[in-house]
Amino acid sequence: MMDTKVALVTGASRGIGKACALKLAECGYDIAVNYASNDEKARETVAEIEKLGRKAAAFKADTADLKAVQDMFREIQKTFGQLDVLVNNAGVVDDAFLLMINEDSLSRSLDINIKGYFHCAQAAALKMMSKKRGKIINVSSVSSILAVEGQGVYSATKGAVNSMTATLAKELAPRGITVNAIAPGFIETEMMDAIPEDKKADYIKAIPLGRFGAAREVAEAVAAMCSPAFDYVTGQVVVLDGGLSL
Ligand code: NAP
């Protein structure tokens, strides 16, 4: 019997998450597509995965909400029966200089970008432990290692993602589960829409490869991290930023 693998990609209705979902489907995975609110876009992702000949289903759940995440994992178990890969990707950015940081936005960023990753990692590890096999990929950001004005909150959340990656890697290694992170630089998705054009031109000048990255390029790296090439790698942060952080 063929050993079909199942991946959950959070925030897979758009952007990097959608690209990861499609790439992993191309690699033979069935895909659980998580999203927050955009039903139409989530349906499109599912349809595109099905066109690739893989099984897919959409799960609307706010990853910041523990109960919603636990319910989602129960539904994923009913639909797919297993889980081999978690791509913790659902995240938000709301840039503000220190004195302009708003309490609601601060809480929301911490809840989604940090607590959401823990909620999903915890539920996924519980599933993976029984098989003594699994891979967790946390989508971090180059902002975790590079100071960008206005990104105090965002960079703090992504720094937390890097530290949790190392700690969880150590905790879960005896259970056969690897945990790694990928830290993209500027990737062309809707998340970059808020950046003014003149700022974008400045950023491009600072990137040695001279261009922004594509979501597809992040997805290729995530797929490599899910492949046997990364079986002996755990607790690492792979930076994919066109050289920006050098
Ligand atoms: P995006 O285009 O804004 O897409 C965000 C995705 O996350 C959407 O699918 C959205 O669902 C989902 N989402 C947001 N909050 C959620 C929640 N609470 N629960 C479940 N799903 C939620 O973002 P992106 O650019 O692809 O970014 C994806 C990840 O990459 C983030 O973690 C981000 O920090 C990281 N990253 C991005 C860049 C970049 O330049 N784009 C660079 C470095 C790191 P709905 O469609 O339903 O709203």
DSSP run (H or E) holding 15:
helix 15-26
What is the per-residue pLDDT across 4-20, written as a single tens digit (0 to 9) for each? 899 999 999 999 999 99
Q: Over range 16-35, report the average pLDDT.
A: 98
pLDDT at 84: 98
Average pLDDT for the chain: 97
Contact predicate 211/242, CB 8 Å: yes
- What digits encode the pLDDT tens for the residues 173-203? 999 999 999 999 999 999 888 888 998 999 9
Residue 86 has pLDDT above 70, yes or no: yes
Q: Which of 127, 107, 126, 116 is nearest to 61 (CA)?
A: 116
d(CA 198, CA 241): 20
- Residue 153 contacts residue 105 (beta carbons within 8 Å): yes
* 3-class DSSP assignment, residue 108: helix
Give the alpha-carbon dihedral of 142, 101, 69, 81, to 10 degrees.
Answer: -20
pLDDT of 150 strictly over 50: yes
Looking at the predicted structure, is the pLDDT value of residue 21 above 80?
Answer: yes
1 pLDDT exceeds 80? no
Give the model confidence (pLDDT) of 198-219 as tens digits.
989 999 999 999 999 999 999 9
Residue 3: what pLDDT?
77
Calculate ∠ Cα 243-109-33, nearest 5°. Answer: 80
pLDDT at 2: 54
**8 ligand 1 Cβ < 6 A:** no
| CA 15–ligand 1 middle distance (angstroms) | 7
Name the residue with the closest Cα to ligand 1, atom 12.
11
44, 45, 76, 89: residue to mutate for ligand 1 pocket, most atoms within 8 A of CB: 89
Question: Would the pLDDT of 109 be above 60?
Answer: yes
CB neighbour class for 11 (10 Å; exposed up to 12, middle 13-18, buried from 19): buried
The whole-angstrom separation of Cα 243 and Cα 183 is 12
Cβ(16)–Cβ(41) under 8 Å?
no
Residue 183 beta carbon below 6 angstroms from any ligand 1 atom: no
pLDDT at residue 143 tops 80? yes
Distance 141 CA to ligand 1 centre (A): 11
Active site residue 35: no
pLDDT of 38 higher than 90: yes
Measured distance CA(46)–CA(43) in Å, rounded? 5
Does 113 score more than 50 pLDDT?
Answer: yes
For residue 190, what is the DSSP state?
G
Give the pLDDT mean for 97-120: 98
Ligand 1 centroid to residue 165 C-alpha, Å: 18
C-alpha–C-alpha distance, residues 52 and 23, integer Å? 10
Pick the catalytic residue from 117, 154, 203, 232: 154
The two three-digit tokens of residue 54, written as one number = 């893989």
141 lines ligand 1 (CB under 6 A): yes
Q: Convert 214-238 to b/e letters by CB count within 10 Å (16 or more is b).
A: ebebbbebbbebbeeebeeebbbbb
Global pTM reads 0.98
The one-letter amino acid code at 150 reads G
Q: Which has the closest alpha carbon to 14: 83, 72, 92?
A: 92
